[in-house]
Amino acid sequence: MTLIEITLVMGLMLALASIITYSISSMSDWKKGRSAAEKLKSVYVAQKSYLADHPTSSFSTLTATQLVPYLPGRPGAMPTQKSLTDQSLTIDVTEMPPIFTLSSSAYDPSDSDSDSLWDVGNM
């Protein structure tokens, strides 16, 4: 083989490796968003269950402590989630459906607020 052929093959291999790396990164981001949506859905179910048992309560006065017993599977604590940049997110249970917050602002890096990535979606 000539030096040119080896260079072309190496360049092609590097290009394919970079495409695969980019694809895996996108899949990892999607997986985090999907996991976050499932956690928000479980909190949403807990909100609705709590309000069904306490019809005079308002969702704007809910606390995480009140909702923990109503979470599906009884995990014993509110679910936690990391952002795409590995920052800790908190769930705002005073919103219905609940949202993730980062530094007191809503966190949803997806294109839509109803796509079931980083949000409850259409239930």
pLDDT tens digit sequence for 63-121: 999 999 999 998 889 999 999 999 999 999 999 999 999 988 999 998 888 888 999 88
Structural domain boundaries, residue 64 = 3-106
Number of domains in the chain: 1
Cα dihedral across residues 84, 89, 93, 94: positive or negative: negative
pTM: 0.79
pLDDT higher than 90, residue 21: no
Look at residue 96 and tell me if it is in a domain. yes
**Whether 91 contacts 40, CB under 8 Å:** yes
Look at residue 116 and tell me if it is in a domain. no
Amino acid at 102: L
Look at residue 27 and tell me if it is in a domain. yes
Look at residue 13 and tell me if it is in a domain. yes
Residue 121 is predicted with a pLDDT of 82
Look at residue 111 and tell me if it is in a domain. no
